[in-house]
């Protein structure tokens, strides 16, 4: 069995995930990356996107991270995120509506483009996570 390390995903509303895992794949702002045990200490920013956890027994679980910062240490990784969700918690219809709305707003000058862009990214991440189920 491969080595495991501790992963904590903490959102403002509480601890979202706290368990020993073998590997996690996250979308960072600089690109997608995987973390295994004994990773070199690294602090990096996390983009809006999906993540995938593989447990010691090869079972896997994925979810959505809505941006944040990951602090990686050899034996422990802490991800501070604005919000995290499991696919079960995502309302696909709502996400699709949000996507449409965001696309509309991007075309329109009245709205803040950066905010619409962020909303669009969130919606897409949610849809991807749900459909990858």
3-state secondary structure of 101: helix
**Which part of the chain contacts another protein (CB under 8 A), choosing from 49-57, 76-84, 91-99, 125-133?**
76-84
3-state secondary structure of 26: strand
42 binds another protein (CB under 8 A): yes
Nearest approach in angstroms of CB 58 to another protein is 29
118 binds another protein (CB under 8 A): no
Distance CA 114, CA 117 (A): 5
30 binds another protein (CB under 8 A): yes
CB 123 within 8 A of CB 102: yes
Structural tokens at position 58: 């090869």
- Cβ proximity to another protein, 80 vs 127, nearer residue: 80
């Amino acid at each position: 069995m491969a080595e495991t390390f501790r992963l904590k995903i903490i959102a403002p509303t509480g601890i979202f995930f706290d368990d020993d895992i073998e590997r996690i794949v996250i979308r960072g702002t600089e690109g997608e990356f995987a973390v295994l045990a004994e990773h070199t200490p690294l602090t990096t920013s996390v983009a809006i996107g999906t993540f995938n956890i593989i447990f010691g027994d090869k079972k896997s679980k994925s979810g959505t991270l809505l941006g944040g910062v990951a602090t990686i240490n050899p034996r422990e990784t802490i991800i501070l995120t604005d919000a995290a969700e499991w696919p079960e918690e995502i309302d696909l219809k709502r996400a699709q509506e949000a996507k449409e709305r965001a696309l509309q707003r991007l075309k329109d000058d009245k709205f803040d483009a950066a905010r619409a862009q962020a909303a669009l990214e969130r919606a897409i991440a949610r849809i991807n996570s749900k459909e990858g189920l």
